[in-house]
Amino acid sequence: MKRSDWDDFLRSFPLSWEAEANRLRRRLALVSREPRELLCMLCDADYPVWFAPNDLWNRVVRREDGSDEWPFLCPTCFARKAVERGVDSRFQLSAVDL
């Protein structure tokens, strides 16, 4: 589907669907470009260097086939996905000199 076709399709929604259309546009933009580190694949925000322990990351992000559903997530989206997936954790922000 060409980008112009996609835009026409999204414009066909009633005004009450405008927020959903904008969300779909953002997702299309994220899917159609190469993912990169420090750019969240869900909210499209730049984020600082951070990490989660492997076992926590795997419970939140891994698919059954072992691949990551979203290779790059900001801390906020990671925490939201953890809650959605039933990973009951508290998150702590700390600074480490590298």
Q: How many helices (H) and strands (E) does the chain have?
A: 4, 0
**Structural domain harbouring 13:** 1-33
Q: Please report the pLDDT score of residue 29 as a whole number.
A: 65
Each residue's pLDDT, cut to its tens digit, for the chain (98 residues) gives 566 776 777 677 665 566 777 777 766 665 555 666 788 888 878 888 888 888 998 999 888 888 888 788 899 999 999 999 898 777 777 777 76
Whether residues 25 and 52 fall in one domain = no
Whether residues 94 and 55 fall in one domain = yes
Whether residues 73 and 51 fall in one domain = yes
pTM recorded for the entire structure: 0.59
Number of domains present in the structure of the chain: 2
Nearest in space to 89 (alpha carbons), one of 66, 55, 64, 48: 55
Whether residues 39 and 29 fall in one domain = no
